[in-house]
A and B are shown apart, each in its own frame.
Chain A
Amino acid sequence: MKRLQLQRWSSTVLSPRARTGNCLHQQLYTAKLRYQSTASSIQSESAPYDAIDVLEDPKLMSQVRRVHKHKSALAYPSPPVEAATRSAKLAALHARLYLPSRLPLQTLARTLVDASADENADFNNESLATLGHDLLTYYTTEHLLCNYPRLPLTVIFAAMYAYAGPKTLAAMAKEWGVEHAAMPGGEVDPGYLQFQRVEPGTDVEANSDLQSARPYAAQKNWRKTVTSKIFYDDEFGDQIKGVVSTGSGSGSGVTAELASATFVRAVMGAIYLHAGRPAAKRFFEQHFLSRHLNISELFNFSQPARDLARLCNRENFEPPVAKIISETGRKSRHPVFVVGIFSGQDKLGEGAGASLLEARERAALAALKGWYLYSPLNVRVPSSMEEEGAAPWKPVYVDLGEVIV
């Protein structure tokens, strides 16, 4: 498969041409063009500063302007492009993450500007985050599905959340040493993550209007099947939130967790655009897949013995039978029973417990986990076919799926 010329795409992220996109935008900014790059034309010094004149006090404003050496910084809600090369924080972050040198500091600065800080879609990280989010979910999904083909769907949702959920991404941003700006603004060092914070006391869950394609979505207490979650919900099995109200300029902010997650996704998208697919995949493997997750701890069975019986029935095994392997102190205060679950001659699982029932449950649990956590050896994921000179594709193992009870 031929590699696409990504450099050409990435030029749209930075080129000044893209700046003057639509007609409305041209009308609004005819007097003062705001460039995404310092390459072709330097921002004119005579740019008017009315954008920041939200502070009514003229005395204070004049003082603020005098203090700031780079006056162009005050013209827009996010730092100007030329500030990116002057920021020590930004350069340090670039080096700390071992980002490819083809990813310019200007784009890295853009990934740090949330849509709630700068509404202009050409200068915030929303578009990069969308791309990065799709890449992240794609790589995580294929890794999980190919490596653990028998996982139940609810566990896949949980594993997806653990690898690429907002909590993990926010933790990663923290581990990368990204600091948050107290308030977004043009004069802020571009090395800080900039977003508008939520007002204290705001109910974060309440104001998100759920826009689901699911029929009868308004019926909150109706049961939602796992199958319907594949169709209607997002990759974590959560209901898809409506258009996030950050871009609408209503003044409502985002939580620090959400802003950090958007930043991490935007970095992924920026790497893909500037350095190409191999670099993006390497970045994913080094920063996301290398994290520790014990998938066997993600299961929460309600009735393992029943599930195991159904599973044996489906797979045409002999029905499972629980047998005591060893025991001690049956009449004492601390009895211990070791119970094995057998299907014919084969021992499916074994567990120890303080009562016979507990031991049987544990044994059934061990048997079910042994089945669900099957992982084939030498797995290849579909995206490995995108590499040059990849070996012919061999189909991966596809399982029937979890038992239905």
Chain B
Amino acid sequence: MPVKGIRTVTAARNGVGAFILQCKRLDFHYCNFGGSSRGMLAFLTQTLPRFAKENPQIEIRVSPRHQKHPMIKGQYINGNEKSICVRNLEPEDILKKAMILKDASGDKLKRTKKPITSLNESVRGIWSPYHGDLRGV
């Protein structure tokens, strides 16, 4: 057989074709009694319905956590979970925190050193001493 095929799997490029939002689920926890949940309770009744309507891709769960600070937890497609404690926050600030979780990719935060990362080979190629302008020694 002159040539054989090597089996691989295509690599995903989220956003090149379709964009899949990485935040899968947001859990909103509140306490009916605690004072730190006051802003959260207002958020749940006033802001959350609109937030849910604007982001239908996210499954939203609301559940009480008795005697605990209010919290937002995000579940991501890569299996990670991120949580933010929103005690004593106003509804507008809680919305900002929810947006942070919504826009996150779920990966751990890391420092980006190169401006571009690409799956494609560089067009220019790797520098070679044997090509280009050869000078006599």
Q: Give me the interface of A with B, judged by CB distance under 8 Å.
A: 88-89, 91-92, 94-98, 152, 154-159, 161-163, 165, 167-168, 171-172, 174-177, 191, 226, 237, 285-287, 289-294, 297-303, 306-307, 325-326, 328, 336, 338, 352, 368, 402-405
Contact = CB atoms under 8 A, between A and B. Distances in A.
B59 interface: yes
A226 B2 CA distance: 11
A98 B16 CA distance: 15
11 contacts: A88-B61, A92-B57, A92-B58, A96-B20, A157-B5, A162-B9, A168-B10, A291-B10, A293-B8, A294-B120, A299-B3
Main secondary structure of the interface of B (DSSP, over half): loop
Interface of B: 1-14, 16-18, 20-21, 24-25, 56-61, 77, 119-121, 128-131, 134
A306 B1 CA distance: 12
B5 A159 contact: yes
Given A287-B18, A290-B18, A301-B3, A88 B10 contact: no
Nearest to A152: B3
A96 B13 contact: no
Contacts, number: 130
Given A96-B21, A155-B3, A292 B130 contact: no
A318 to B, nearest CB: 21
Contact of B134 (A152, A158, A326): A326
Contacts of B59: 88-89, 91-92, 191
A152 B2 contact: yes
A307 B130 contact: no
Nearest to A310: B2
A175 B77 contact: yes
Contacts of A285: 17
B77 A299 contact: no
A377 B73 CA distance: 49
A370 B9 CA distance: 23
Contacts of A91: 56, 59
Most A CB within 10 A of own CB, among B2, B6, B134: B2
A171 B6 contact: no
B41 to A, nearest CB: 21
Given A92-B58, A163-B10, A168-B10, A402 B5 contact: no
Contacts of B8: 158, 162, 293, 297-298
Nearest to A352: B130
A307 B12 CA distance: 34
Given A162-B8, A177-B20, A286-B17, A95 B56 contact: yes
A33 B20 CA distance: 38
B17 A328 contact: no
A156 B7 CA distance: 10
B14 to A, nearest CB: 7
A405 B1 CA distance: 8
Contacts of A404: 2
A189 B20 CA distance: 22
B50 to A, nearest CB: 16
B37 to A, nearest CB: 23
Contacts of B12: 171-172, 175, 291-292
Given A154-B1, A285-B17, A301-B3, A167 B57 contact: no
A362 to B, nearest CB: 13
B129 to A, nearest CB: 8
Given A96-B21, A287-B17, A326-B130, A292 B10 contact: yes
Contacts of A88: 59-61
A226 B10 CA distance: 24
B11 A291 contact: yes
Contacts of B58: 92
